[in-house]
Structure 1
Amino acid sequence: MPSLFDPIELGAIKAPNRILMAPMTRARGTRDHVPTPIMVDYYAQRASAGLIISEAIGINQLGLGWPYATGLWSPEQIAGWRRITDAVHENGGRIIAQLWQMGRVVHPSFLSGEAPVSASATIAPNYAHTYGGKKPYEQARALSIDEIAELVQHFRQGALNAIEAGFDGVQLHASNGYLIDQFLRDSSNFRDDRYGGSIENRARFLREATEAVADAIGADRVGVRLSPNGETQGVRDSNPLPLFTAVLEMLSEIGIAHLELREPPIDGTFGVGEMDPLARQLRHAFKGPLILNSDFKFARAQAALDEGVGDAVAFGRPFIANPDLPKRFAEKIPLAADDPTTWFSQGIQGYVDYPSDAQ
């Protein structure tokens, strides 16, 4: 079996190791969702990852409801991300863009007071992060058939913009209770048209968006992220194994380059799964490289590769305080601890001031 330090082909991307950097929102953009200069340094510092999966990036304003997150729909945003991808490549790295549409978890304050959108007219639990502090979520309106078709084209254009911005590919964010996940799972999709009801219908939006993106930039540059294990932001499914088995088979048929499963274990420290991770039971349904994510430490990650459950592991929080994570793993250097109070702050503290090269 391969080790975490072995190279892997992820479609068109040749990754030098299987220690990938997971997508993490860090809130360092501008209020207009444009990347800032400190983001150039942040991503360049982490270029030794086998592959960087960027923070979630909005494909349009309708679906972006996180303060100081970034987008990919304007020339200024594309230019800002181009500076980041150039720096990553100059430091020997590879980076793909995670394409994001948040759906019902966008607060109306981001939309000039208009309601957010979702598969159905539902309300997310808990509170939204806004520029004015935390506020209760408000009821989303159900998307029309025509609006769904428009969103598919927004995903397609987002992928084209990502390539223009210098990314090596994209990942569709279909997990964590965001819009595509709101269509997939039966706790948030109550439609009675061709996008609701059966598994095939609930997966139709993901199929159409993935096919559109693959047609635009090539399936060998497209990945998808799913979260089959348990509830996230109020989204869950009453019978996840057949749902996600069918979804993996569908994505395998489309021929995407890689698939990431985010599955917190029952004893996870960041998010808690409602059941043991399903990756072992789902592995047969997807024929391409499978990326595992959530609460992995080195030993557990290598064991998952040894058992054939996955082909690579995406690490999130360890990369925050350890820009040189692959080197620290290889040389058995103790990991530095990150500061959660700076995860979503706007300055350099807790962002680009962690030491590199294990010094």
Structure 2
Amino acid sequence: MNNSSLFSPIKLGRNQLTHRVVLAPLTRFRATLSGEPTDSVIEYYSQRSSPGGFMITEATFINPFSGGFPHAPGIYTQTQLQQWKKVASAVHKKGAIIFLQVWHVGRAGTKYLNPNQEEVISASSIAIGGNSVLTGRPFEVPRAMDINDIKELIADHRQAALNVIEAGFDGIEISSAAGYLLDQFINSSSNKRTDQYGGNKENRCRLALEVIGAVVDAVGQERTSIRLSPGGDFQDMKDDLPIETYSYLVSQLQARFPRLAYIHLIEVRSSFFSDEVNTIDTLAPYRKIWKGPIITANGFSTATQHAIDFAERTGSLIAFGRAFLANPDLPHRLCHNLPLNKYDRSTFYTNDDVGYTDYPFTELTQK
């Protein structure tokens, strides 16, 4: 396996990697209720570090109103920042590289978890269908953001980027995927605005590009990246012309920010919450446009041979979620064709160390 493209070096921004097995950003709800990473979080990322390996943290809130998921981390207080410093330091001691992913969930949140029950916000006043996992009740109708809200959101992303670098991370990944706030602006089903942030694809992509511009201004292109889910339907996402919309967005990234560390693309599959094997490729149109590194995610944990073949064919880095959480030494196992631990889905979103830091290493791998 050492001759596989999955184990060939590649440069991401300022960082030289020795392989292309990436820890995907995985929400695990192991922070404190005030959003500070715990000692268990430090151990979790340290366990999954390998020399020249690359990891992306779980999605991290940029301000107190970003979503309110209990036990999800933030990066907007000094206490949070100081705890994240310990994560970055532990990872770097193992010789790995790590970016921190930031997010705002928009209409996927609930006012009941905001500090003063502030309304949830989105591109337009359109609720997600069905019931929220946070409340067990129908999703709330969000308040459509005004221009001042948008300016504050951009400023909060910029400050979050500065905080990320102050905490010692190698860069920042902007979450603009999976039905969260920036994705709600991009997709035509959730964005019915009539101002400069709605209507045609150029306007619907404007906010994501402005956020990237603000982050780049703060920390530089080579420390900046973005995650997108072209054609994804999670949390009621739907675009009338997804290939046209996302081809435009990726073409603008290439034209304006060609030195971004990478773009991270989520492959479409039927459900984030299934164990199905995924062997499709809907991302080819965007690989033709973007000339820099690409991380591809979604469905590879149950199709590792497909992941190896996909990396060989495309040169992509491969983000593993479920397989990496259950196998802290996943790069070693894949490289030497060793069997994988099975993941326990029932522990994905609990709050203790079971199913978090207790998965075994192979005998030949040392923590």
TM band (smaller chain): over 0.9
Q: Distance in 2 between matches of 1:272 and 1:326?
A: 22
Structure 1 position 124 matched with structure 2 position 125? no
Q: Structure 1 regions of 5+ residues with no counterpart?
A: none
Q: Equivalent pairs: percent with the same residue?
A: 37
Question: 1:8–1:265: structure 2 CA closer, same or farther, 3 Å change rule?
Answer: same
SS at match of 1:248: helix
* Aligned 1:154-173 pairs, distance under 5 A: 154-173=156-175
In structure 2, the partner of 1:66 is 69
* Aligned 1:10-21 pairs, distance under 5 A: 10-21=12-23
State TM-score, norm by structure 2.
0.92
Structure 1 position 84 matched with structure 2 position 87? yes
State TM-score, norm by structure 1.
0.94
* Aligned 1:221-260 pairs, distance under 5 A: 221-253=223-255, 254-255=257-258, 256-260=260-264
Structure 1 position 300 matched with structure 2 position 306? yes
1:199 to 163, 185, 201: 201
Structure 1 position 331 matched with structure 2 position 336? yes
* Aligned 1:141-180 pairs, distance under 5 A: 141-180=143-182
Question: 1:90–1:211: structure 2 CA closer, same or farther, 3 Å change rule?
Answer: same
SS at match of 2:136: strand
In structure 1, the partner of 2:189 is 187
Structure 1 position 263 matched with structure 2 position 267? yes
SS at match of 2:288: helix
Question: 1:66–1:280: structure 2 CA closer, same or farther, 3 Å change rule?
Answer: same
Deviation at 1:340, TM superposition (A): 1.0
> 1:98·1:170 contact (CA, 8 Å) conserved in 2?
yes
Q: Distance in 1 between matches of 2:349 and 2:96?
A: 24
Structure 1 position 319 matched with structure 2 position 321? no
In structure 1, the partner of 2:286 is 282
Q: Residue type of the partner of 1:12?
A: R
Q: Structure 2 regions of 5+ residues with no counterpart?
A: none
Question: 1:219–1:4: structure 2 CA closer, same or farther, 3 Å change rule?
Answer: same
2:35 to 17, 33, 36: 33
Alignment RMSD (CA, Å): 2.0
Question: 1:80–1:188: structure 2 CA closer, same or farther, 3 Å change rule?
Answer: same
Q: Distance in 2 between matches of 1:238 and 1:272?
A: 26
Range with greater deviation from structure 2 (255-264 or 80-89): 255-264
Show CA shifts across 1:302-355 (max 9, x none): 2222222x5211111101110000000011111001111111111111100111
Show CA shifts across 1:137-165 (max 9, x none): 11100000111011101000000000011
Count of aligned pairs: 355
Q: Distance in 1 between matches of 2:280 and 2:171?
A: 31
Q: Residue type of the partner of 1:141?
A: R
Q: Distance in 1 between matches of 2:271 and 2:60?
A: 29
> 2:67·2:110 contact (CA, 8 Å) conserved in 1?
no
